[in-house]
Amino acid sequence: MLRIDNLVKSFAGEKARGKKKAQAGHTTVFAVNDVSFEVKEGELFTLLGPSGCGKTTTLRSIAGLERPDSGTITVGDRVMFSAKGASNRQVTNLPANQRGLGMVFQSYAIWPHMTVFDNVAFPLQVRKRSERPSKAEIEERVSRVLETMELSEQAGRQATKLSGGQQQRLALARALVIQPPLLLLDEPLSNLDAKLRESLRYELKRLQRELGITSVYVTHDQVEALALSTHIAVMQAGSVVQLGKPREIYETPANKFVAEFIGTSNFIPGTVRAREGAHASVETVNGALYLESAIDLPVGSEAVVSIRPEAVQLSRESRPDAANEWHGTVMARAFLGDAVDHVVAVGKHEMRARVNPSVSIEPGTQVYLQLDPAKISLVPVG
């Protein structure tokens, strides 16, 4: 449904906020630097990364609001943008209003002087005559979308009289009514309070499942990305550093940046001592560790072991059947409601362990840490 090939977009001159020096005293920042990915029909594909990594620029390029330097953007079988290089004269660049894509941005630009119904009907009414649906059809399509977004009762109300969550749903309804082949969403929930954000997250997921809309979603919120997406591209400094399903990215981060950005991890330096297929044995300062899924690093390589806090179990007694067991002392603990976080000193390192509240252990206690070999991953140094 969407294909991005080798997309590059730089900003030059005074406006560039980056530090990278280029020729003639100008500063050039590569907001998007050789990005490629593919989104299949029905997927909710998320661009995830910290502020300034190039997510919005990628999305705006797809929308036609930004002109890339080079690369290709194809939606279905329509080439939206294509240029081989900055100096290339053979450029295809469809204007935003001819791309027919749905867009919802952070600040939901609803029209305040219109009713809810008219806000949704407007994108259909302004179409040129040959493409405009009949009045009856517009009415039917708008009513159907309002029903899906659970806004039927508010149809006659002025848009500004809606709550924040309803206004955001209205913005979505307006994007959906044109039945776009692709829906582009840029942090659409970030202006809402935490509770509303969570409930709309579920609604978006429901919509995604029911309507099967192919969407590209931009967020810096890793929890939102994990909860919503069918696929995630993690971006760092203009590049995609890992592509995969939420679970793959969480459980087998490609590097330390991804492991740190998505969730919390314990990082321990080590050396690969033996390996067989995906299984590996790694020597660390705290002792040897056995891993069931490791990236392809040869024996002798330096690496970093990444252990999620929930992969660490704690017990007062040793468990001889555990694949990996270390010994330590509980230094602190924090109650999180559904879990208890422990800080445990192991040698010179501190390990975080997140366990069920029924296993909560008081500070000062000597404990055994069992490390689940299926939940430990190995990432390259740096």
Of 231 and 308, CB closest to ligand ATP: 231
Contact set for ligand ATP, span 193-222 (CB under 6 A): 220
Q: How far is the CB of 190 from ligand ATP (least distance, A)?
A: 9
Q: What is the bridge-based pairing of β-strands 366-371 and 312-315? A: antiparallel
Q: How far is the CB of 217 from ligand ATP (least distance, A)?
A: 12
Q: Is 56 in the site for ligand ATP (CB under 6 A)?
A: yes
Q: Is 290 in the site for ligand ATP (CB under 6 A)?
A: no
Contact set for ligand ATP, span 36-55 (CB under 6 A): 49, 51-55
Name the residue type at position 357.
Answer: P
Q: Is 237 in the site for ligand ATP (CB under 6 A)?
A: no
Q: How far is the CB of 44 from ligand ATP (least distance, A)?
A: 18
DSSP 133: P
Of 14 and 338, CB closest to ligand ATP: 14
Q: Is 57 in the site for ligand ATP (CB under 6 A)?
A: yes
Instruction: Estimate to the nearest angstrom the gap between the alpha carbon of 137 and the chain centroid.
Output: 36
Which region, left, alpha or beta, applies to residue 94 given φ > 0 means left and ψ of -120 to 50 means alpha? beta
Size of the site for ligand ATP (CB under 6 A): 16
Contacts of 329 (CB under 8 A, 6+ apart): 344, 345, 364, 365, 366, 367
Q: Which of 96, 90, 100 is nearest to 1 (CA)?
A: 100
Q: Is 124 in the site for ligand ATP (CB under 6 A)?
A: no
Q: Is 188 in the site for ligand ATP (CB under 6 A)?
A: no
Which H or E element spans position 224?
Answer: helix 222-228
Q: Which of 311, 309, 316 is nearest to 367 (CA)?
A: 316
Q: Is 11 in the site for ligand ATP (CB under 6 A)?
A: yes
Q: Which residues bind ligand ATP (CB under 6 A)?
A: 11, 15-18, 29, 31, 49, 51-57, 220
